[in-house]
Chain A
């Protein structure tokens, strides 16, 4: 079993803030993130403005085979991000 930790640089704009000029800053949070281990989904999270800026997530998974974990996320503005981490299992 391994512990997976993710940190993403993202402001997680709540939609409750205002610019100096008084205009509201539109809400923009990473609303979902999926982790796939060799293609199979192992973790998924839907987030809202209650998750702090630069979201940090920690979960566990059982590593049976070497391979890679692929993370992909999308925010309210439609921006997508992805990252991969190689896993090697020795026994």
Chain B
């Protein structure tokens, strides 16, 4: 193949290449949680609702952002929350934590402090004792991201 032909085929490759990745990248941006949620639920339907994520709307610092998740559940032996998984829409390791609860919890509420690598959506996915999944989310604006400096 001549150098010119190689060059032209390279150009053609360059022109075609961005189409595919950008489309998948856009899909991921639309819903950064889709594949993770599917892995957790095993494909079961997730209904939005019953789960509330409380965070400050604006966090000065992503190193430690207070966050509380509450699920609307009576927490009885017959009807309770079995687990709550916290997912980050932007962190390099998106599964922040999984909390396991039960009737002994009395109240379906947990709180912690999370690291957020920039402004993003945080999703909480609750698995109930009847096998159903519910989700809630919050949007947090982070002025100074975690993971950027050495502290």
Which residues of A does B touch, CB under 8 Å?
Answer: 1, 12, 14, 16-18, 37, 40-53, 55-62
Tell me the interface secondary structure of chain A in the complex. Answer: strand
- Check B96–A48 contact: CB distance below 8 A: yes
- Check A18–B150 contact: CB distance below 8 A: yes
- Check A60–B98 contact: CB distance below 8 A: no
Given the contacts A42-B102, A45-B99, A61-B104, A52 and B65 also touching, CB distance less than 8 Å: yes
> Given the complex of chains A and B, what is the CA–CA distance between A25 and B106 in angstroms?
40
- Check B104–A42 contact: CB distance below 8 A: yes
**Residues from chain A with Cβ under 8 Å of B113 in the complex:** 51-52, 55-56
CB of B40 closer than 8 Å to a CB of A: no
- Chain B window 106-128, contacts with chain A (Cβ cutoff 8 Å), 1 for yes, 0 for no: 11011111111000000000000
- Check B95–A48 contact: CB distance below 8 A: yes
Smallest CB gap from B88: residue in A: A50
Number of contacting residues on B, CB 8 A?
32
Q: Given contacts A51-B97, A59-B110, A62-B105, could you give 11 more A-B pairs where the C-beta distance is less than 8 Å?
A: A16-B92, A37-B104, A43-B101, A49-B91, A49-B115, A50-B115, A52-B63, A56-B112, A59-B105, A60-B107, A62-B104
- Check B109–A59 contact: CB distance below 8 A: yes
CB of B86 closer than 8 Å to a CB of A: yes
CB of B100 closer than 8 Å to a CB of A: yes
- Check A60–B109 contact: CB distance below 8 A: yes
